[in-house]
Amino acid sequence: MTASEPSPTNDRPPSWTPPDPLPDGLRTRRLVIRAYQPGDARALFEAIDRSRASLLPWLPWAATQHLNSQQSAESIDLFRRVAAERPMRPEHNAVFGFVLGIFRADDGALVGGTGFNRIVHDSADAELGYWLAADARGRGYCTEAVGALIDWGLRPARDGGWGLRRVRIFAAAANVASCAVPRRLGLREEARFVRDRWVPGHGWCDTIGWGVTVDEPMPRAIGSDAMPRSGR
C-alpha cells in the first residue's frame, strides 16, 4: 500500500439493494432499453425465432425457450415477477437479474435483449449479457446499448441509475462479434479462463472477462439519459 492509497477499513459497505423504485428505462441516441411488457411477447418471440440459428450456440436458452409466443409471454411474466420481488435474500446472490429489451427509438421495434444478470449483492457486481436479432446487427446497436448500460448501472440510484459498484462482461473467445463489443468500448480485459466452456461446433473454448468499476473513468462512454422514474 502506498501513502496515497486509503487505508482499508473493517467496516464493510452495505450490500447492494435494488433501487426503489426500479429505474424505468434508458434512452440512447437510437435506442430505448427497458423491461419487457406483456405486449412485447410476440415481438420477442419473432426476434428470437428469426435469429435462433445465430443465437446458438452462444446462448443455449435459445434452444429450449421462446419456441412460441406463449413461451415468450411466460418468460416476460417471470422476468416481471423477479423484478417485482426485488430479490434480496442472500441465496439469490448471483442467481437473479433484471432482464431488459432493446428497442429502436424511432419505430419501437424490438431489436434485442440485455440485462443485469448474476448480480452479486455483497460486491454490488452485475454481469451484462446481450443479443441482437440477426437483422439488427452491424449497426452498432449493441455497442451503443452496452456502453449506455454500463453508465446507467454504475450511476447512483439517486441519479436514476442502478447503484452498482462493478459491471462485468464474459464472452467465449471464439465469439468474435461478442468480444468485439467490450473491446470497441475500450473496456479492461481482466481474465481469461482457459477451455472452460463447451460450445457446440467449437469444442472447449476460452472465456474472456472484462470489467469496469464505479471509481474509474468509463472509457469512451456513450452518453445516456435515464427516463423519468416511476414505480413499477
Ligand X SMILES: CC(C)(COP(=O)(O)OP(=O)(O)OC[C@H]1O[C@@H](n2cnc3c(N)ncnc32)[C@H](O)[C@@H]1OP(=O)(O)O)[C@@H](O)C(=O)NCCC(=O)NCCS
**Of all residues in this chain, which one has the CB nearest to ligand X in the complex?**
140
Between 139 and 232, name the residue whose CB sits nearer to ligand X: 139
100: contact with ligand X by CB under 6 A:
no
Question: If binding is defined by CB under 6 A, does position 132 make contact with ligand X?
Answer: yes
The binding track of 150-179 with respect to ligand X, each residue x by CB under 6 A or -, is ---------------------x---x-xx-
Quote the CA–CA distance of 183 and 101 in Å, as a whole number.
Answer: 22
Cβ of residue 21: shortest distance to ligand X, in angstroms? 29
Q: Which is nearer to ligand X, 22 or 102 (CB)?
A: 102
Could you say whether residue 187 binds ligand X (CB under 6 A)?
Answer: no
Instruction: With beta carbons less than 8 A apart as the criterion, state whether 96 and 119 touch.
Output: yes
* x/- track of binding to ligand X for residues 48-67 (CB under 6 A): ------xx--xx--------
